[in-house]
Amino acid sequence: MQRILALLIVILFLCVPATFASEIEFQEGLNSFFGFMPAEFDFEHARQAGGYWDRPFFELFEWGMIEPVEGFFDFRMTDEYVLRGQRYGFHTLANIQPFAD
């Protein structure tokens, strides 16, 4: 019984083609899974390395900074950050934190 099982395992490995990392197609743009946290430190080199996504630190996207006074929304800092990344072809994946002062 053990010999039959061993033989089946060997046959399985011989029949299933191997996939090598060099054979996997690199996805670009929105389909890419490659990014940095955060890429802001060096957008240019991060982009040259193949990065498409930027995950900024949470401090910039705290709700208390976006709505410093109830009913007044200030997106200037967050918009500026996203625009800097877009200049280098990055998509920003921001996580708005619920913390408020």
Over the stretch 31-62, which tens digit does the pLDDT of each residue have? 566 676 777 778 888 888 888 888 887 778 88
Measured between alpha carbons, how far is 35 from 47 in angstroms, rounded to an integer?
Answer: 9
Q: Is residue 38 part of a domain?
A: yes
Q: Is residue 69 part of a domain?
A: yes
Q: Is residue 32 part of a domain?
A: yes
Instruction: Give me the helices (H) in the chain, please.
Output: 2-15, 43-48, 63-66, 76-87
Range of the domain at 37: 27-92
Contact criterion met (CB below 8 Å) for 71 and 92: no
Measured between alpha carbons, how far is 55 from 35 in angstroms, rounded to an integer?
Answer: 8
Q: Is residue 75 part of a domain?
A: yes
The total number of structural domains in the chain stands at: 1
Q: Is residue 98 part of a domain?
A: no
Per-residue model confidence (pLDDT) at position 76? 93
Q: Could you tell me the pTM of the whole model?
A: 0.61
Q: Is residue 17 part of a domain?
A: no
Q: Is residue 45 part of a domain?
A: yes
Q: Is residue 99 part of a domain?
A: no
